[in-house]
Copies of this chain bind each other. A is one copy, B any other.
Amino acid sequence: RINGDRLWAALMELAKIGATAKGGVKRLALTDLDKQGRDLVVGWGREAGMSITIDQIGNVFMRRDGANNALPPVMTGSHIDTQPTGGKFDGNYGVLAGLEVVRTLNDLNIQTEAPIEVAFWTNEEGSRFVPVMMGSGVFCGAFSLETAYAAKDTDGKTVGEELERIGYKGDQVPGQHPIGAYFETHIEQGPVLEDADKVIGVVPAVMGLSWYDCVVTGMEAHAGPTPMGLRRDALQVSTLIMQEVVAIANRYPPYGRGTVGMVQVFPNSRNVIPGEVKFSIDLRNVNDELLNTMHGELLAFLDQARSDTGLTIALERVSYYPPCPFHPDCVNAVRSATAKLGYSTMDVVSGAGHDAIYAARLAPSGMIFVPCKDGISHNEIEDAKPEHLEAGCNVLLHAMLERAGR
Besides A222-B376, A224-B284, A233-B246, 13 other A-B contacts (C-beta < 8 A): A126-B270, A126-B271, A132-B270, A132-B271, A189-B222, A190-B227, A191-B226, A221-B375, A221-B376, A223-B259, A233-B259, A236-B242, A275-B379
Between A and B, 20 residue pairs with Cβ closer than 8 Å are A83-B269, A83-B272, A126-B271, A132-B270, A189-B222, A189-B225, A189-B226, A191-B227, A223-B259, A224-B350, A228-B246, A228-B253, A228-B256, A236-B260, A239-B239, A239-B243, A259-B271, A261-B273, A269-B378, A270-B280
Q: Given known contacts A227-B254, A233-B246, A239-B239, is B379 in contact with A221 (CB within 8 Å)? A: yes
CA A269 to CA B379, docked complex, whole Å:
11
CA A352 to CA B273, docked complex, whole Å:
13
A268 touches B84 (CB 8 A): yes
When C-beta atoms are compared, the residue in chain B nearest to A85 turns out to be B267
- Quick check: is A230 within 8 A (CB to CB) of the other chain? yes
- Quick check: is A188 within 8 A (CB to CB) of the other chain? yes
List chain B residues, Cβ under 8 A from A258: 228
Q: Given known contacts A83-B269, A254-B227, A269-B127, is B262 in contact with A377 (CB within 8 Å)? A: no
Give A345-401 interface residues, CB cut-off 8 Å to B: 350-353, 375-379
Copies of this protein in the complex:
2
CA A260 to CA B218, docked complex, whole Å:
14
Using a Cβ–Cβ cut-off of 8 Å, how many residues does chain A contribute to the interface with B?
Answer: 70
List chain B residues, Cβ under 8 A from A269: 83-85, 125, 127, 261-262, 378
Task: Report A215-256 CB contacts with B as 1/0, cut-off 8 Å.
Answer: 000011111111110100101100110110010011001101
Interchain CB contact (< 8 A) of A260 among B235, B266, B377, B379: B235
Interchain CB contact (< 8 A) of A190 among B225, B267, B270: B225
Give A197-229 interface residues, CB cut-off 8 Å to B: 207, 209, 211, 219-228
List chain B residues, Cβ under 8 A from A249: 228
B223 touches A378 (CB 8 A): yes
CA A379 to CA B220, docked complex, whole Å:
6
- Quick check: is A274 within 8 A (CB to CB) of the other chain? yes
- Quick check: is A130 within 8 A (CB to CB) of the other chain? yes
When C-beta atoms are compared, the residue in chain B nearest to A349 turns out to be B225
Interchain CB contact (< 8 A) of A219 among B233, B256, B379: B379
Q: Given known contacts A223-B282, A225-B377, A376-B221, is B272 in contact with A268 (CB within 8 Å)? A: no
B224 touches A207 (CB 8 A): yes
CA A118 to CA B266, docked complex, whole Å:
33
B265 touches A262 (CB 8 A): yes
List chain B residues, Cβ under 8 A from A280: 270
When C-beta atoms are compared, the residue in chain B nearest to A206 turns out to be B224
Task: Report A147-160 CB contacts with B as 1/0, cut-off 8 Å.
Answer: 00000000000000
Interchain CB contact (< 8 A) of A222 among B222, B246, B378: B378
A351 touches B225 (CB 8 A): yes
B352 touches A189 (CB 8 A): no
